[in-house]
Amino acid sequence: MSTDNTAVFVIAEQMVGGIQPISLQLLGKARLLADELGTTVGAVLLGQNLTNDVHKLIAAGADLVLQADSESLVPYQSELYTEIIVKLMVEHRPEILLIGSTFIGRELAPLIAARLETGLTAHCIELVIGGEGALEQRIPAYGGMITIVCPEKRPQMATVANGVFPTPVLNPARLGEVISIQVPKNLPQRVQTLEIIREKLEGISLETASVVVAGGAGAGDQEGWDQIEELAGILNAGFGSTRPAVDAGWTELETMIGQSGRMVNPDVYIGVGLSGELQHMVGILGAKIMIAINKDAKASVFEKVDYGVVEDCRVFVPALVERLKNKESTTGKVTHVI
Amino acid sequence: MIDFTFSEEQNLFRKAAREFAETEIAPHVAMMEETGRDWDPVIKALCNAEMMAITIPEAYGGLGLGYVARLIALEEIARVSVATAMMMQVGGLGIEAIVKYGTEEQKKKYLPKLANGGSFSTEAVTEPSGGSDPKGCGTSYKKVNGSYVINGRKCFITNSHIADVLVVMAISEDTPDTFSTFIVEKDMDGFKATHEEKKVGMRGCNTGELELKDCMVPAENLVGKEGKGLSVAMATISDVGRGGMVGCALGLHQACLDASKKFANERILYGKPISNLQAIQFKIADMKIELEAGRLLGYRAAAIQDKGERSGNEFAVAKYFTTEAAQRAAKHAVDIHGGYGCMEEYDVTRYLRDAYVLGPSAGTSDIMKVIVARWVLS
Amino acid sequence: MVNIVVCVKAVPDPSFSDKLKIDPVTKSLPRLDIPLVINPLDSRALEAALQIKNKYGAHITILSMGPPPAGNIVRECLALGADKGILLTDPAFAGADAFATAYTLAKAIEKNGAVDVVFCGMASSDGATEWVGPEIATFLNMPVITMVREIVDDQGDEWIVKADYEHGYRMVKLKLPAVITVTRDLNHPKPLSFSGIIKARSKEISEWDHEKLEIPVERVGLKGSPTKVTEMTRLENRRNVKMIEGSLQEKVERLVQILSNAGVV
């Protein structure tokens, strides 16, 4: 396999029972970028019991998988992972390195970038090969889109959130090379993950939901927020938030949809009691139908949706929920066509 | 060269006071409006946040900051609750009498507790027989075996039922036209806070009557020289009292402007926000112009006071102007709100009621004009 | 005595963030008079340091890179209880990306002397890369733990912390000296007090430029940034809205109809 400065690499991430969806999405994108550059795709996977996962990475587009399989790699340890990956990057010298914007990725990416003394762009929603083969990294900011490049240093590094790029069609017949990497032993560990504790699991994943309801400051208080949550429940929708709702303490930061939060791509989006701030709206990558409910006729959200209702959500949502409950009882079942 | 900018430190005081008002005072306003009482949480909050210590010297456990700092704090608190600012400012009036005219023993005894919130103070001058005419004072004192026995009634006294340290002015029973001021403590025999007033504005600000019936006050509680009580009362009211009203008025005025801006930008008529209409813009401009002018008058007077100079006249001008302007601003704010300006859920209705209680407090507008005329003609 | 550095960024007040938009004509950010505040997550970082100070005694240095007005934010941090402030200010620092920023901050921490803990907010409200904390740690050859939501054991030089993780959190053991980035769940910052502001009068704020840090100008600011912004465009994502009119019930009916047509109900 070529070891010159031409490959596009992805740091793939193992999760319980498989590969993080973002890793497959990034491999799909890496494949497209590599094809345009006339080069190859590499993936790095650290973890344990990797055989099936490795094949999935190849099926998603990797030509080369560098795998390190060891119990010392589970759970994630930042210093060990950084050491291994930096060494691989120095050896393989890729043009581009993509990392998913997961909890691990957000800590690992800057550690790698600082060691490699290269540039890193966070939360990209578009990656394009520009003039002279440089990677144009686009991020939403200040109500618009900013294009960032890393003109000299290599690899050009970017993190991308789950759901930004489509999941590629897996081709199990694809072939690729797999190289096993030695895991350094007795590396001094000054920071050590002792244990991973799972709390509540999200009901409907926002990134894959076909209907998304998002609530904002207009909820007014926890009671108003719970009403919107009830609406999301009845619609079998993913339930997300904007920053004011998180700041008010009605919901966790993890539910926030937006520039530095989750990305959604539903068929139907309903924004309830939110103003349509650009930081939030850029988190909606695309939706067939967008609806907004807000008591302020001047709210900018009404310029960005297909249907608008000017009404206090604390009045409208209970009425809507009531009506939907009646519909449910008269038709017998809530059907949901994706 | 006159520098009209606040210092970095003064800006920090303002930030601290604003954050305090918004987080610690705001949540209690609705209840105070509803019951006209329930001042305990805000009094406690004021004490915990060192607001009563501002003008108490450091030697006695205070912050030793001046009157500009006091005005900044009052302005920010009044923006959220004029009732709270009023109780704070009159508490400061009682403190001032002790700071300026108290003996070393009195300062050591009362100021540390007043600074840390262990005690709360007020000054009681007004009576049914006169506020604008303090000499018509009916509360009298008599020297008996080295102590003083006080008899009478005070009315419209802020912090009447909260204060445990009260600076009370009385007229001598023996010598005509002679006044003295005393520190009366709440639990002294013969002292009672009696009737609580139900005010139309500044609701939640404790206003009431005091009754003194053969109230025996020890000699060491005399504030200032015997017979010089009127000067003590007048001196404290003329700058600290008037200055406090300026703070209340400026804060209220800013609140009126903020509410008007918000409503004008949100209310759609003829397809556009009403802030596009000149009639509305002119009202807002009037409010802004008077607020800018009032601020300059108030802070100028406070700066003179901080230099240690007499500022009563400048404060008379500022008190007159800012309280009258706040009343105009409140009316503008209500007008801008149209029908909504009559609905209690809109704060501007409270602003209107609070605004006109500013008028007679610490000297009516007519009295202010008398003082200003005297300033010119003398 | 624990030696703590808290990295603080002065950011435009996030409540005005909607006003800061790319100008579609000039394709750049307009200069607006949005007041600067302490980056909200950095307030949590400072509060964490103050809690250590209250418990065990600590010396807290505030470090901030920014133009001269950022000095007010440093002063505010001193009023909140920090002991000393360093403002890194130099025209050469302008245009720094996360890499150059972290490098500059790391050099300043080095120059400041021995340190046990570096606290940072996990992200800034106006940049939000989350990179600066980990990159500082790399340049200082220190371990780092990001997204800390709780400090479980802070005695001695081996700490136990809880850090946000997928669907939960991880328990982490950390050997000092180390960098810790914090989330908003970590604590509730205490408010400014008048006496704190008075105490800040005697506290020192130094201003350091790149020469004081002894770093060449090529390693800071725009020159020292591996990434560069090449273009800013305004996002036009307007749609032609149809407003649903009528009484409350009529609007509810119409919306239910729309949702039904879309196959949602």
**Chain centroid to CA B122: how far?**
10
Specify the amino acid at residue A47.
Answer: G
What pLDDT shows up at residue A3? 41
What three-state secondary structure class fits A148?
strand
Task: Indicate whether B3 pLDDT > 80.
Answer: yes
Question: To which residue do tokens 């209907």 refer?
Answer: A211
CA-based nearest residue in chain A for residue C241: A306
Residue B344: which CATH number? 1.20.140.10
Inside any domain, residue B197: yes
Q: pLDDT band for A2, please (50, 70, 90 cuts).
A: very low
Identify the domain containing residue A277 by its residue range: 206-331
Identify from B23, B262, B266 which residue to disrupt to test chain A contact, counting A C-beta atoms within 10 A and taking the largest count. Answer: B266
What pLDDT shows up at residue A337? 41
Rounded to whole angstroms, how far apart are CA atoms C80 and C62?
A: 11
**Based on the domain organization, do A139 and A35 belong to the same domain?**
yes
What pLDDT shows up at residue A309? 94
Q: What angle do CA C85, B73, B83 make, to 5 degrees?
A: 150
Identify from A275, A298, A300, A314 which residue to disrupt to test chain B contact, counting B C-beta atoms within 10 A and taking the largest count. Answer: A298
Averaged pLDDT for residues C226-242: 85
Percent of chain A with pLDDT over 90: 74
CB pairs under 8 A between B and C: 40
Averaged pLDDT for residues C182-206: 96
Averaged pLDDT for residues A33-56: 94
Inside any domain, residue A132: yes
**CATH fold of C2-219, please?**
Rossmann fold (3.40.50)
Check if the beta carbon of residue A272 is closer than 8 Å to that of residue A214. yes
Specify the amino acid at residue B10.
Answer: Q
Inside any domain, residue B1: no
CB contact set of B82 (below 8 Å; sequence gap of 6+):
B201, B202, B205, B248, B251, B252, B354, B357, B358
Check if the beta carbon of residue B253 is closer than 8 Å to that of residue B333. no
- CB-CB under 8 Å, A122 with C145: no
Q: At what angle do helices B278-306 and B242-266 cross, to 10 degrees?
A: 160
Identify from A20, A79, A82, A107 which residue to disrupt to test chain C contact, counting C C-beta atoms within 10 A and taking the largest count. Answer: A107
- CB-CB under 8 Å, B69 with C76: no
Q: pLDDT band for C80, please (50, 70, 90 cuts).
A: very high
- CB-CB under 8 Å, B19 with C191: yes
Q: Which two tokens mark B358?
A: 């500013």
Q: ω into residue A168 within 30 of 0, thus cis? A: no
What pLDDT shows up at residue C4? 98
Rounded to whole angstroms, how far apart are CA atoms B119 and A141?
A: 53
Inside any domain, residue B2: no
Inside any domain, residue A187: no
**Based on the domain organization, do B267 and B366 belong to the same domain?**
yes
Inside any domain, residue A195: no
pLDDT digits (tens, 9 = 90+) for B17-66: 999 999 999 999 999 999 999 999 999 999 999 999 999 999 999 999 99
Q: Which chains are within 8 Å of C by 3+ CB pairs? A: A, B
Inside any domain, residue A307: yes
- Where does chain B have alpha helices with state H? 8-20, 26-35, 40-48, 67-80, 82-101, 104-116, 229-236, 242-266, 278-306, 312-336, 347-358, 365-377
- The values of phi and psi at residue C116, to 5°, are -100, -45
Rounded to whole angstroms, how far apart are CA atoms A254 and B40?
A: 39
Going by C-alpha positions, the residue among C42, C88, C45, C43 that lies closest to residue C68 is C88
Question: To which residue do tokens 């401009």 refer?
Answer: B285
**Based on the domain organization, do B218 and B168 belong to the same domain?**
yes
**Based on the domain organization, do B21 and B116 belong to the same domain?**
yes
**Based on the domain organization, do A166 and A31 belong to the same domain?**
yes
Rounded to whole angstroms, how far apart are CA atoms A151 and A133?
A: 10
Identify from B23, B263, B268 which residue to disrupt to test chain A contact, counting A C-beta atoms within 10 A and taking the largest count. Answer: B268
**Based on the domain organization, do B242 and B212 belong to the same domain?**
no
**Based on the domain organization, do A172 and A217 belong to the same domain?**
no
Task: Kindly list the residues from chain A whose CB atom is less than 8 angstroms away from the CB atom of residue C265.
Answer: 235, 324, 327, 334-336
Rounded to whole angstroms, how far apart are CA atoms A44 and A181?
A: 10
What pLDDT shows up at residue A55? 94
**Based on the domain organization, do B358 and B302 belong to the same domain?**
yes
Identify from C132, C160, C165, C183 which residue to disrupt to test chain A contact, counting A C-beta atoms within 10 A and taking the largest count. Answer: C165
- Give the HSE-up count for residue A117: Cα atoms under 13 Å, Cβ half-sphere: 5
DSSP output for B39-91: -HHHHHHHHHTTGGGTTS-GGGTS----HHHHHHHHHHHHHH-HHHHHHHHHH
Assess A151–C contact: CB distance below 8 Å, yes or no: yes
Task: Kindly list the residues from chain C whose CB atom is less than 8 angstroms away from the CB atom of residue B11.
Answer: 72
Rounded to whole angstroms, how far apart are CA atoms B32 and B334?
A: 21
Q: Where are the domains of chain C?
A: 2-219
For residue A191, give the nearest of C128, C145, C233 by CB distance.
C145
Torsion angle (degrees, nearest 10) of CA A243, A249, A251, A253: 50
**Based on the domain organization, do A263 and A168 belong to the same domain?**
no
Task: Kindly list the residues from chain C whose CB atom is less than 8 angstroms away from the CB atom of residue A137.
Answer: 227
Give A299 to chain B, closest Cα distance, Å: 9
**Based on the domain organization, do A31 and A171 belong to the same domain?**
yes
Assess A306–C contact: CB distance below 8 Å, yes or no: yes
Look at C125 and B232; give whichever has higher pLDDT. B232
CB pairs under 8 A between A and B: 6
Rounded to whole angstroms, how far apart are CA atoms B88 and B71?
A: 11
Identify the domain containing residue B196 by its residue range: 122-226
Using an 8 Å CB-CB cutoff, list residues of chain B that contact chain C: 8-9, 11-13, 15-16, 19-20, 23, 49-51, 53-54, 63, 65, 69, 73
Rounded to whole angstroms, how far apart are CA atoms C226 and C216?
A: 15
- The values of phi and psi at residue B227, to 5°, are 90, -10
pLDDT digits (tens, 9 = 90+) for A283-314: 998 899 999 999 888 888 998 999 999 999 99
Give B266 to chain A, closest Cα distance, Å: 7
Percent of chain B with pLDDT over 70: 100
- CB-CB under 8 Å, C192 with B50: no
Boundary-marking domain end, from B226, B252, B278: B226
Task: Indicate whether A336 pLDDT > 50.
Answer: no
The pairing of beta strand A191-198 with beta strand B272-273 = unpaired
In this structure, how many other beta carbons lie within 10 angstroms of the beta carbon of residue B271?
7
Residue B43: which CATH number? 1.10.540.10
Going by C-alpha positions, the residue among A135, A83, A91 that lies closest to residue A111 is A83
CA-based nearest residue in chain B for residue C193: B16
Task: Kindly list the residues from chain A whose CB atom is less than 8 angstroms away from the CB atom of residue B30.
Answer: none
**Based on the domain organization, do B235 and B369 belong to the same domain?**
yes
- CB-CB under 8 Å, B54 with C194: yes
Task: Kindly list the residues from chain A whose CB atom is less than 8 angstroms away from the CB atom of residue B265.
Answer: 298
Look at C21 and A3; give whichever has higher pLDDT. C21
Give A298 to chain B, closest Cα distance, Å: 7
Task: Kindly list the residues from chain C whose CB atom is less than 8 angstroms away from the CB atom of residue A288.
Answer: 262
What pLDDT shows up at residue A18? 87
Give B12 to chain C, closest Cα distance, Å: 7
Rounded to whole angstroms, how far apart are CA atoms A148 and C212?
A: 31
Q: pLDDT band for A329, please (50, 70, 90 cuts).
A: low
Give C136 to chain A, closest Cα distance, Å: 8
- CB-CB under 8 Å, B266 with A296: yes
3-state SS of chain C is CEEEEEECCEEECHHHHHHCCCCCCCCCCCCCCCCEEECHHHHHHHHHHHHHHHHHCEEEEEEEECCCCHHHHHHHHHHHCCCEEEEECCHHHCCCCHHHHHHHHHHHHHHHCCCCEEEEECCCCCCCCCCHHHHHHHHCCCCEEEEEEEEEECCCCEEEEEEEECCEEEEEEEECCEEEEECCCCCCCCCCCHHHHHHHHHCCEEEECCCCCCCCHHHCCCCCCCCEEEEEEECCCCCCCEECCCCHHHHHHHHHHHHHHCCCC
- The values of phi and psi at residue C207, to 5°, are -110, 120
H/E run at residue B191: strand B191-196
Boundary-marking domain end, from B226, B249, B266: B226
Task: Kindly list the residues from chain A whose CB atom is less than 8 angstroms away from the CB atom of residue C139.
Answer: 114
Check if the beta carbon of residue A197 is closer than 8 Å to that of residue C170. yes
Inside any domain, residue A210: yes
Give B49 to chain C, closest Cα distance, Å: 7
pLDDT digits (tens, 9 = 90+) for B238-266: 999 999 999 999 999 999 999 999 999 98
Averaged pLDDT for residues B288-303: 97
The pairing of beta strand C2-7 with beta strand C117-121 = parallel
Rounded to whole angstroms, how far apart are CA atoms B242 and B294?
A: 13
Boundary-marking domain end, from B210, B226, B242: B226
Domain tally, chain A? 2
Residue A57: which CATH number? 3.40.50.620
Averaged pLDDT for residues A208-225: 94
What pLDDT shows up at residue C128? 77
Residue B154: which CATH number? 2.40.110.10
Beta bridge partners of B93: none
Assess A149–C contact: CB distance below 8 Å, yes or no: yes
Assess A16–C contact: CB distance below 8 Å, yes or no: no
What pLDDT shows up at residue B1? 57
**Based on the domain organization, do A173 and A230 belong to the same domain?**
no
Give B321 to chain C, closest Cα distance, Å: 29
DSSP output for A109-124: HHHHHHHHT--EEEEE
Averaged pLDDT for residues B328-344: 96
Q: What angle do CA A312, A318, A319 make, to 5 degrees?
A: 85
Task: Indicate whether B354 pLDDT > 50.
Answer: yes
Task: Kindly list the residues from chain C whose CB atom is less than 8 angstroms away from the CB atom of residue A275.
Answer: 18
Q: Which two tokens mark C153?
A: 């054991």
What three-state secondary structure class fits B337?
coil
**Based on the domain organization, do A141 and A212 belong to the same domain?**
no
Inside any domain, residue B3: no
Q: How far is CA C11 from CA B178, C69, C181, in A?
A: 61, 11, 17
**Based on the domain organization, do B113 and B127 belong to the same domain?**
no
What pLDDT shows up at residue A282? 86
Inside any domain, residue A2: no
Under DSSP, the state recorded for B24 is I
Task: Kindly list the residues from chain B whose CB atom is less than 8 angstroms away from the CB atom of residue C36.
Answer: none
Residue A319: which CATH number? 3.40.50.1220
For residue C239, give the nearest of A199, A290, A336 by CB distance.
A290
CA-based nearest residue in chain C for residue A202: C167
Question: To which residue do tokens 């005399």 refer?
Answer: B222
Task: Indicate whether C25 pLDDT > 80.
Answer: no
- CB-CB under 8 Å, B65 with C194: yes
Using an 8 Å CB-CB cutoff, list residues of chain A that contact chain B: 296-298
**Based on the domain organization, do A157 and A229 belong to the same domain?**
no
Task: Indicate whether C232 pLDDT > 90.
Answer: no
Check if the beta carbon of residue A147 is closer than 8 Å to that of residue A120. no
- CB-CB under 8 Å, B265 with A297: no
**Based on the domain organization, do A213 and A73 belong to the same domain?**
no
Rounded to whole angstroms, how far apart are CA atoms A96 and C135?
A: 19
Q: Which chains are within 8 Å of A by 3+ CB pairs? A: B, C
Task: Kindly list the residues from chain C whose CB atom is less than 8 angstroms away from the CB atom of residue B50.
Answer: 193-195
pLDDT digits (tens, 9 = 90+) for A223-264: 999 999 999 999 999 999 998 898 888 998 889 998 878 999
**Based on the domain organization, do B319 and B304 belong to the same domain?**
yes
Going by C-alpha positions, the residue among A116, A103, A107, A121 that lies closest to residue A160 is A121
What pLDDT shows up at residue B345? 87
Task: Indicate whether B366 pLDDT > 50.
Answer: yes
Identify from C38, C190, C194, C201 which residue to disrupt to test chain B contact, counting B C-beta atoms within 10 A and taking the largest count. Answer: C194
Mean pLDDT of chain B: 95
Question: To which residue do tokens 């010089």 refer?
Answer: B228
pLDDT digits (tens, 9 = 90+) for C92-121: 999 999 999 999 999 999 999 999 999 999
**Based on the domain organization, do B130 and B103 belong to the same domain?**
no
- CB-CB under 8 Å, B265 with A296: no
Averaged pLDDT for residues C155-170: 94
Rounded to whole angstroms, how far apart are CA atoms A265 and A256?
A: 14
Check if the beta carbon of residue A114 is closer than 8 Å to that of residue A153. no
**Based on the domain organization, do B103 and B145 belong to the same domain?**
no
The pairing of beta strand B121-124 with beta strand B165-172 = parallel
Assess B269–A contact: CB distance below 8 Å, yes or no: no
CA-based nearest residue in chain A for residue B263: A296
Check if the beta carbon of residue C225 is closer than 8 Å to that of residue C188. no
Task: Kindly list the residues from chain C whose CB atom is less than 8 angstroms away from the CB atom of residue A253.
Answer: 183-184
Task: Indicate whether A271 pLDDT > 70.
Answer: yes
CA-based nearest residue in chain A for residue C15: A244
Q: pLDDT band for C209, please (50, 70, 90 cuts).
A: very high
